[in-house]
């Protein structure tokens, strides 16, 4: 607990000046593409597509499954609405390009989000249906060449394999949804199994600033149990042999690609591997089984290419909102029902995102102020009875540790001090800390929002460039992270004085550990969202002001001393259940130790 070594009003003035200098330094550091051409008239485009198909696109007919696919002209058919631009390739009849028109990707050269945001492009995604023929050989639709027929925002891809016809029909619907219908005819003459394997290989492209943070958020997500259950896997493999998946997503920090089979995927499995450098972050592979009806594949699928925007995700009513990693259980509820509504309300006032976070911090501190007051009152009481605690430690120095602890607890009880009350503020702030740790890097409304020198509050600021790479820090220093570390260190110095030193040999010095914590926090925050660092800077600066206000204007140590003396005359306060249980456990342990010592003497 705090042992205040003369924190006077001059220090208060010093802190105020320091804060002004720090904020002034922050101010000092601060500082399209044209829209694509609209779609041509549907009838003209259909005519052009059919003409090209007739002249150039010859469907690949495999007369023998041992033969290679015949070469043909590969073309890409474009479908477009306000939100999406799709390119569908005749090779494999698959979606080969997906651009989210209303968003931009991070450009390392300009240090802002100004590149086209391409989910699929340059063959980073490849998918198809894999079949086993009656001779036991495997063929996959992604290796076949299809011929296209386009009608407005719908295109039919068709190919033939030994007389069997396979059709993929894509229809771009409103917003982020693509109908994907699969039809076959004559497939029953080729295949022996009653199943097909949907195989998807996908290398996710980096879209954000901060590679490690985005890699952490890139993972498999899936729903099952009729959309009622949800799970995710950020490890190397995923295995779901028993569940029927309603949809499978590869999620990144702010965007996702989802495939939804009407009848679900069975015997699903997948793998994911980190890509250490370059354009791509992770390599994903998924394999899910779909059933054939009479050895024919006639099933409806849907593709979704979406931003992780909570209201939009909830509008689908398919458990897509779980894709936004707001935290499990109480943590997620805290974000959904408290922090997000608070953020939306303050944002509606027209404030910059950084000042929205500033006001959020103040609101949280006001809510927690009664708890913080109790904590600091306890600190003052602990300071008053410190001489008595030191006397107990001296009296029982070298004696039985259990006896010393019992006598210490007796001093607390007589003074009416409940040590456990000091743990409450810390326990309350743990879920808040973790909720905000989830909130700031995943709130798409903050993506690309600048504040002072931070160009994106969901990524780190790197105004201070380093000429070399420092392990765990990288090649930059974040000003927000440094500022946050400084105020945490000041707060620690002001509060660590009250902490009792270890009385047992070999026990760690908690005061030293408390001083180390702010330094380790720098390594954590340096590559985290600058919005998170800004929140913790403001939060800890307010903590310091609260301590000073309580010390100089609210709490009177003389009155506290008089109250403690009065408590002693009344006798010890009744034990709480927890205190009683602790005392009984200590007494029982002490008895057992006496028995063991007596046995050793015999």
CA distance 550 to 556: 9
Whole-number pLDDT of residue 476: 81
Whole-number pLDDT of residue 97: 95
- Checking 444-448 for CB contacts under 8 A at 24+ apart, the result is 444/254, 444/307, 444/308, 444/309, 445/309, 445/343, 445/344, 445/347, 445/353, 446/353, 446/529, 446/531, 447/113, 447/208, 447/254, 448/104, 448/112, 448/113
- R_g over Cα of the chain: 32
User: Can you tell me whether residue 353 is helix, strand or coil?
Assistant: helix
> Structural domain boundaries of the chain?
9-28+333-571, 42-325, 573-602
CA distance 213 to 143: 35
Residue 523: partners with Cβ closer than 8 Å, 6 or more residues away = 472, 473
Instruction: Please give the full DSSP string across 400-413, using - where no structure is assigned.
Output: -HHHHHHHHHHHHH
CA distance 76 to 86: 9
Write the CATH number of the domain with boundaries 42-325. Answer: 2.70.98.90
Q: What are phi and psi of 387, to 5 degrees?
A: -55, -40
| Residue with tokens 């130790």, as numbered in its chain | 593
Half-sphere exposure of 251 (CA within 13 A, CB side): 27
Let me know: does 365 contact 542? Beta carbons within 8 Å: yes
3-state secondary structure 170-231: EEECCCCEEEEEEEEECHHHCECCCEEEEEEEEEEECCCCCHHHHHHCCEEEEEECCCCEEE
Whole-number pLDDT of residue 402: 67
Q: What pLDDT digit, counting tens, does each position of 50-78 carry?
A: 433 333 333 333 333 333 344 457 899 99
What does pTM read for this prediction?
0.74
In this prediction, the residues of the chain whose per-residue pLDDT falls under 70 are: 1-72, 380-386, 389-390, 392, 395-404, 406-408, 410-426, 496-515, 554-602
Q: What are phi and psi of 304, to 5 degrees?
A: -130, 130
């Amino acid at each position: 607990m705090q042992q205040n070594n003369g924190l006077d009003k001059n220090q208060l003035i010093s802190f105020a000046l320091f804060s002004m200098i720090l904020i002034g330094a922050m101010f000092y550091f601060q500082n399209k593409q044209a829209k694509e051409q609209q779609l041509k008239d549907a009838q003209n485009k259909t005519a052009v597509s059919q003409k090209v198909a007739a002249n150039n696109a010859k469907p690949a007919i495999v007369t023998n499954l041992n033969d290679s696919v015949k070469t043909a002209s590969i073309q890409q058919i474009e479908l477009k609405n306000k939100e999406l631009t799709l390119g569908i390739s005749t090779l494999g009849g698959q979606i080969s390009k997906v651009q989210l028109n209303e968003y931009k990707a991070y450009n390392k050269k300009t240090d802002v989000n100004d590149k086209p945001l391409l989910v699929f492009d340059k063959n980073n995604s490849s998918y198809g249906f894999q079949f086993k023929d009656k001779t036991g050989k495997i063929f996959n639709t992604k290796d076949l060449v299809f011929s296209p027929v386009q009608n407005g925002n719908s295109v039919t891809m068709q190919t033939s394999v030994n007389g069997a016809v396979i059709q993929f029909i894509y229809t771009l619907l409103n917003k982020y949804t693509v109908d994907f219908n699969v039809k076959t005819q004559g497939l029953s003459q080729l295949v022996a199994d009653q199943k097909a394997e949907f195989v998807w290989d996908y290398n996710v492209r980096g879209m954000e600033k901060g590679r490690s943070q985005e890699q952490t958020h890139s993972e498999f997500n899936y729903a099952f149990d009729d959309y009622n259950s949800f799970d995710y896997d950020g490890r190397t493999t995923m295995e779901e042999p028993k569940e029927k998946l309603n949809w499978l997503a590869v999620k990144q920090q702010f965007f996702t690609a989802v495939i939804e089979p009407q009848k679900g995927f069975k015997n699903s499995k997948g793998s994911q591997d980190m890509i250490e450098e370059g354009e791509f972050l992770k390599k994903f592979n998924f394999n899910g089984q779909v059933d054939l009806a009479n050895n024919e594949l006639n099933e409806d699928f849907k593709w979704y290419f979406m931003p992780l925007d909570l209201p939009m995700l909830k509008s689908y009513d398919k458990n897509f909102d779980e894709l936004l990693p707001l935290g499990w259980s109480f943590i997620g509820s805290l974000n959904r029902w408290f922090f997000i509504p608070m953020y939306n309300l303050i944002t509606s006032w027209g404030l910059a995102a950084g000042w929205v976070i500033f006001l959020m911090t103040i609101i949280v501190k006001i809510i927690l102020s009664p708890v913080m007051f109790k904590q600091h009152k306890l600190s003052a009481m602990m300071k008053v009875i410190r001489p008595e605690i030191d006397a107990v430690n001296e009296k029982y120095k070298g004696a039985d540790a259990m006896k010393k602890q019992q006598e210490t607890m007796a001093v607390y009880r007589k003074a009416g001090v409940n040590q456990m009350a000091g743990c409450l503020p810390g326990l309350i702030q743990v879920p808040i800390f973790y909720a905000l740790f989830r909130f700031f890097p995943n709130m798409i409304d903050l993506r690309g929002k600048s504040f002072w020198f931070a160009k994106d509050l969901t990524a780190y600021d790197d105004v201070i460039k380093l000429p070399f790479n420092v392990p765990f820090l990288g090649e930059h220093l974040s000003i927000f992270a440094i500022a946050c570390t400084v105020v945490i260190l000041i707060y620690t110095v002001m509060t660590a004085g009250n902490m009792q030193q270890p009385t047992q040999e070999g026990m760690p010095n908690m005061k030293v550990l408390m001083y180390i914590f702010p330094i380790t926090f720098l390594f954590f925050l340096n590559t985290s969202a600058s919005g998170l660092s800004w929140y913790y800077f403001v939060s800890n600066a307010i903590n310091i002001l609260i301590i000073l206000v309580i010390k100089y204007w609210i709490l009177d140590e003389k009155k506290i001393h008089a109250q403690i003396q009065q408590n002693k005359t009344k006798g010890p306060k009744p034990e709480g259940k927890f205190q009683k249980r602790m005392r009984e456990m200590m007494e029982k342990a002490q008895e057992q130790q006496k028995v063991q010592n007596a046995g050793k003497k015999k």
